[in-house]
Chain A
Amino acid sequence: MSLVELSHATKRFLNSKGGTHTAVSDITLDVEAGEFVAVVGPTGCGKSTTLSLVSGLEPPSEGTVRVSGRPVTGIPEGVGYMFQADAMLPWRTVLANVAAGPVWRGVPAEQARAQAHDWIERVGLGGFEGYYMHQLSGGMRKRVALAQTLVTEPSILLMDEPFSALDVQTRALMQTELLDLWSGSRAAVIFVTHDLEEAIVLADRVVVMTASPARIKDVFPVHLPRPRNVEELRMDPDFVRTYSQIWSSLSSEVAIARKTGVGNVA
């Protein structure tokens, strides 16, 4: 039994014209405990939707989603989800935002603050505990989100393009930190990204999705040894080979999405 099991999962939404729009179609994917899976695909294909199925925020229209062997109804135990959009509470300080999860789960306030403190240090934001969100840079806000998610010690970590808004240096820094934190926790990670390099650098497997509606097109194992050096890996011949292999699968989907994209959006 895998930790996360998607089996023929399909998700349809009502569209603005009163019809239905299929966001993801017939997805079958297993993720083991301690495994790092990256999901890549053209924009708007249904990557975020896939994560929302696993998180229990959206029920599948067809098929089944299981976490720890149990069908998902409501939010499963042990799930952490870093959203694509900013979801910090603007009226709370960094410390109060990070402590929110433990407090809501019934940890005594004092202890929750101590845990939050610890994670704020770990993501490199020590000294900013008393700041409000609008006083932080975009990269700092992402770190707060990371600390807020990790403080609950999830066994399944869903991350939706967490680093896409960051500059190259900060992104590499955050990737390194994520790998460090993850290797200590052995959580299962499903990591959505636009950036194929990022996917390969981080993941054990890269899942390529088709243009809308999202299906799983290919799954590529990444045989790069760990611990990985995020910055040097990009020059590694194995990395380059893996990259071109996956890109040949992904690029055609990107091309399809570009061609039909405008029509789909309208």
Chain B
Amino acid sequence: MSLDVSTPQQNPSSTADAAALANVRARVRRHRVTIYGLRALLLVAVLAFWEASVNLWFDPFFYSKPSLIWHKLVVWFSDGTAQGPIWQQIRYTLQEAVLGFILGAIVGILLGILLGRARLLAEVLQPYIQAANAVPRIVLSALFIIWFGLGMSSKVATAFVLVFFPVFFNAFQGAREVDRNLVNNARILGASRSQVLRSIVVPSATSWILASLHTAFGFALIGAIVGEYAGATHGVGLLISTAQASFDSAGIYAGMVISTVLALGAELILGLLERRLLKWRPPAHNNAVPV
């Protein structure tokens, strides 16, 4: 039987197709080179402007400048910091952030999906959840140091509360907004309640959950660093707070640079994970290449 629909196959069957494809590929490559080039240019321009303006008008002691920050980073990575080797500080911070992230994400996803499907429970708990969400959570880090001491667990706890809420709310919303048609269809086809949960609710909520995980890892890092800033024996946050105590503004910036790089690295990994889990989604329009 013939189908009146063109199939989205990409095999170039003729030389004309092959040439068109090569043409498109070249265009995509050129476009990419332009974008990356412009981005690099922008960064260089901003740094150069900063450097020059501090040299000309401001006091580098207060405002610091890229060359000083770079120097600070070089010293940290070659000679170590006052608190010990730099890699050790990074490892501490990362460990705290990752632990807090994983725990917060797991608990957030489980509770979010549970409450998203249990109407009554959600209605009963709603005001309390909103109240808990309104608490300025960053302040909790001070409390956690009293509870858990200066070690790692107080930072993990801070990262946990920062991660939990956005993930929880997204999972909750995702589980709620499941298309009723999909659920009805599955029930007609013979799915049990637990099969509906596994095969319909969880996958529908996945894109919501993944969206929250992106920002959540950033929060986990913030949680770990703020926790360390409030009191710790190791970590990037401690580097920042010692730098502040000694009026070393370059040190504060250097700490920021390190945590930014960590956050970007995590973002990259989460992006790959997302692309894998959501490969069924149609490509977004702004990524589509006209052929």
A interface, CB within 8 angstroms of B:
55, 57, 75, 79-81, 83, 85-87, 89-93, 100-101, 104-105, 124, 127-128, 132-137, 139-140, 148-149, 152, 169-170
Of B1-9, B60-68, B136-144, B146-154, the one with at least 4 CB within 8 A of chain A:
B1-9
B5 x A87 contact (CB < 8 A): no
Report the nearest A residue to B3, measured CB to CB: A124
Distance, CA A158 to CA B152, complexed state (A): 60
Question: Binary interface profile of B, 178-196, with partner A (CB < 8 Å = 1, else 0)?
Answer: 0101101111111110010
B186 touches A140 (CB 8 A): no
Bound complex: CA A101 to CA B5 (Å): 27
Taken together as a complex, chains A and B put the C-alpha atoms of A86 and B7 apart, in Å, by 21
Subset of 27 A-B contacts with CB under 8 Å: A57-B184, A57-B187, A57-B188, A75-B188, A83-B184, A85-B181, A87-B179, A87-B181, A87-B184, A87-B185, A91-B278, A91-B280, A100-B191, A100-B199, A104-B191, A105-B189, A105-B190, A127-B7, A128-B7, A132-B280, A133-B280, A135-B8, A135-B282, A136-B5, A137-B5, A139-B5, A152-B189
| Contact A100 B4, beta carbon cutoff 8 Å | no
B200 at the interface (CB under 8 A from A): yes
Q: Give the chain A neighbours of B181 by CB distance below 8 A.
A: 83, 85-87
Instruction: State A134–B279 Cα separation when bound (angstroms).
Output: 11
A57 to B151, CA, bound (A): 55
Q: Which of B1, B5, B185 contacts A83 (CB 8 A)?
A: B185
Minimal beta-carbon separation of B178 from chain A (angstroms) = 11
> Which residues of chain B are near A133, meaning CB under 8 Å?
280
Is the beta-carbon distance between A89 and B190 smaller than 8 angstroms?
no
The interface residues of chain B, by DSSP majority, are classed as: loop
**CA distance in complex: A44, B190 (Å):** 28
CB pair A100 B3 closer than 8 Å? no
Q: A87-B181, A89-B182 are in contact. List 4 more A-B contacts (CB 8 A).
A: A57-B188, A83-B184, A100-B189, A136-B5
Q: How far is the CA of A169 from the CA of B190 in the complex (A)?
A: 33
Shortest CB-to-CB span from A224 to chain B, Å, is: 25
Query: Are B189 and A104 in contact, with the CB atoms below 8 A?
Result: yes
Q: Contact at A87–B182, with CB atoms within 8 Å?
A: yes
Which chain A residue shows the least CB distance to B183? Answer: A87
Which residues of chain B in 201-254 are interfacial with respect to chain A, using CB atoms and an 8 Å cutoff? 203, 206
Query: Residue of A at shortest CB range from B203?
Result: A91
Name the A residues within 8 Å of B185 (CB-CB). 81, 83, 87
A94 to chain B, nearest CB (A): 11
Interface residues on B, range: 20 to 34
Q: Is the CB of A100 within 8 A of B186?
A: yes
Across-interface contacts of A169 in B (CB, < 8 A): 4
**A134 lies within 8 A of B282 (CB):** yes
Which chain B positions have C-beta within 8 A of A101? Answer: 189-190
CB of B281 within 8 Å of the partner chain: yes
Q: Give the docked Cα–Cα distance between A139 and B185 (Å).
A: 19
Q: Do the beta carbons of B184 and A92 come within 8 Å of each other?
A: no
Complex Cα spacing A100 to B8, Å: 25
A127 to B5, CA, bound (A): 13
Chain A residues with CB under 8 Å of B179's CB are 87
Contacts of B189 in A (CB 8 A): 100-101, 104-105, 148-149, 152
Question: Which of A57, A85, A87 has the most C-beta atoms of chain B within 10 angstroms of its own C-beta?
Answer: A87
* Contact between B200 and A80, CB atoms less than 8 A apart: no
A124 touches B190 (CB 8 A): no
Determine the residue in chain B with the shortest Cβ distance to A152. Answer: B189
Q: How far does the Cβ of B95 sit from chain A's closest Cβ, in whole Å?
A: 33
Q: Which of A80, A90, A92, A104 contacts B192 (CB 8 A)?
A: A104
Shortest distance between the CB of A61 and any CB in chain B (Å): 19
Using CB atoms, name the residue of chain B closest to A84.
Answer: B181
Q: List, in ascending order, chain B residues with CB within 8 A of A124's CB.
A: 1, 3
Q: Which residue of B lies closest to A74 (CB)?
A: B187
Chain B 1-45, CB within 8 Å of chain A: the 1/0 string? 101110110000000000000000000000000000000000000
Q: B170 to nearest A CB, angstroms?
A: 17
Q: Which of A101, A133, A149 has the most CB of B within 10 A?
A: A101
A12 to chain B, nearest CB (A): 19
- Chain B nearest CB, measured from A31 CB (Å): 17
Residue among B5, B182, B280 with most chain A CB within 10 A: B280
Cβ of A87: which chain B residues have Cβ within 8 Å of it? 179, 181-182, 184-185
Cβ–Cβ < 8 Å partners of B206 in chain A = 91
The CA of A90 and the CA of B207, in the complex, are separated in Å by: 12
Min CB distance, B263 to chain A, in Å? 28
Known A-B contacts A87-B181, A89-B182, A169-B4; A104 and B203 likewise in contact (beta carbons under 8 Å): no
Scoring B residues 61 to 91 as 1 if CB is less than 8 Å from chain A, else 0, what string do you get? Answer: 0000000000000000000000000000000
* Closest-CB distance, B206 to chain A (whole angstroms): 8
Contact with A along B99-138 (1 / 0, CB 8 A): 0000000000000000000000000000000000000000
A80 and B280 contact, CB distance less than 8 A: no
Which B residues are CB-close (under 8 A) to A127? 7
Q: How far is the CB of A75 from chain B (nearest CB, A)?
A: 6
Instruction: Please indicate the chain B residues that have their CB under 8 angstroms from the CB of A90 in the complex.
Output: 280-281
Smallest beta-carbon distance B200→chain A, Å: 7
